[in-house]
Amino acid sequence: MLLDTLRQLNDEQEGSVFRAPAPTEVYKIAVDREKLPFVPTVMSILAVIVWAAFMLIYILFWSSSYGWLQNFSILTLSLVVTGGLVGLMWVYWMHKRDQ
């Protein structure tokens, strides 16, 4: 589509120096505000903040009684749980958007 438009503009100018069309000449972009991911974006940011706060509290107060392997496994498990919840939320939003 874009290539056809460029060829048509080039044919219209016949021998003159090629002028690239402005974006508004080629296509119009319409953004449907209802389909923007506002809620999943805010929830993703909040999930990262809550996860970081949990890790800070855990490191400062609870981690001293565990070994490095247990601390690493708690870090990994908390990342997996947070990532899974955020991922499920995005999958739900994508599914709901496509309906």
* 8-26 pLDDT tens trace: 666 665 555 555 655 555 4
Specify burial of residue 95 (Cβ count, 10 A radius: 0-12, 13-18, 19+).
exposed
Specify burial of residue 53 (Cβ count, 10 A radius: 0-12, 13-18, 19+).
exposed
> What is the C-alpha separation between 45 and 88, in angstroms, rounded?
15
Specify burial of residue 99 (Cβ count, 10 A radius: 0-12, 13-18, 19+).
exposed
Show the low-confidence residues of the chain (pLDDT under 70): 1-35
State the alpha helices, DSSP H only, in the chain.
Answer: 2-13, 23-26, 38-57, 68-98
What is residue 97's predicted lDDT score, i.e. its pLDDT? 82
What is residue 28's predicted lDDT score, i.e. its pLDDT? 47
